[in-house]
Amino acid sequence: MNETEFLSNIAEILEVDVEKINMETDFRRDIPYWDSLKGYSLIVMLDDEYETSIEVEEFLKAQTVKDLYQYIIKDK
């Protein structure tokens, strides 16, 4: 697992080019549009790709792409 691959998975869900985001991106505010469906999709992706299941309450605390990345690292 590496950051580049992680960013590309996130970009796919946020429907933006991977160059447009980095680890500091606030995934709810720094993209063209956000709603809960993308949130659901991120939660499912963390589970599918990284076997990391996080509760909705935890997910709501995460702001940046890096915060999500930390969940995976913690889980390993």
In whole angstroms, how close is the CB of 14 to another protein at the nearest point?
11
Residue 37 interacting with another protein (CB under 8 A): yes
Residue 44 interacting with another protein (CB under 8 A): yes
Q: CB-hemisphere CA count at 13 Å for 59? A: 18
The residues, any chain, with a CB within 8 Å of residue 22's CB and separated by 6 or more, are 7, 65
- Neighbouring C-beta atoms of residue 7, cutoff 10 Å: 19
> Among 48, 51, 58, 75, which residue sits at the site for another protein (rule: CB under 8 A)?
48
Positions touching another protein (CB under 8 A) are 12-13, 33-38, 40-41, 43-44, 47-48, 56
